[in-house]
Amino acid sequence: MENFNILEMMKVLPAVILGLTVHEYAHAYTAYKLGDSTAKDMGRMTFNPVKHIDPLGFFFILIAGFGWAKPVIINPDNLKNKHRDEIWISVAGPLSNLILGIALFVLARLLFSLNIFTSNLQREGIIQWILLGGVLNFGLFIFNLIPIPPLDGSHIYLTYLKKKNEKMFQYIYKYGSFALFGIIIFENQSKIQILPISSLIHFISNFFFDILQFK
């Protein structure tokens, strides 16, 4: 906690809330379009962030840079193609963060080219703040694709494993969260990188930064 900075937290807070809200809305909306209204009936198909915030996951994002929101509940029995649709629902969340991150970079580039600011300091501050939101959403995209429960990436194989080996599914899902916590805490406290999350975020951010020609 020694690196915790209230000013830095306030900078990322709007992007964190926006990213988590869009992420969970995408899950709920995709489930609804694929035939399951469970999340909609629970009030999760909304852009109200209060409905989506998980306190522990939110806390981890603020102190470690990675975390999660309250999981959207679905009923696979309502889906037309259970295994395929579960994967689509899972992937919808991370993809929404990728799209949002790109949109924020495009917005920053648009503002970069407009002469609407009273000073260069104001211009740079606002643009950097928007870019920070984009980078954070790229982080949510990458982090949630990690194939460790309860993250979305795990559902790509767990939906099939549940059908083939229920006992193994329960074991992985039960202990996956502990493994995830351990990795996050270990990487946050040491210089050893187990998951190449930061490198991938850097790569994607630079890719769109170069494409949009911030010069």
Q: What residues act catalytically? A: 24
Amino acid at 55: P
- Nearest CA to 135 out of 69, 205, 196 is that of 205
- Buried/exposed code over 54-87 (b: 16+ C-beta within 10 A; e: otherwise): beebbebbeeebbbbbbbbebeeeebeeeeebbb
Residue 204 neighbours by CB under 8 Å, 6+ apart: 101, 138, 141, 142
Give the CA dihedral 50, 52, 57, 63, nearest 10 degrees. -50
**What are the residue ranges of helices labelled H in 34-154?**
38-41, 55-64, 82-113, 120-144
Listed residue (26, 32, 209) closest to 131, CA to CA: 209
Amino acid at 202: H
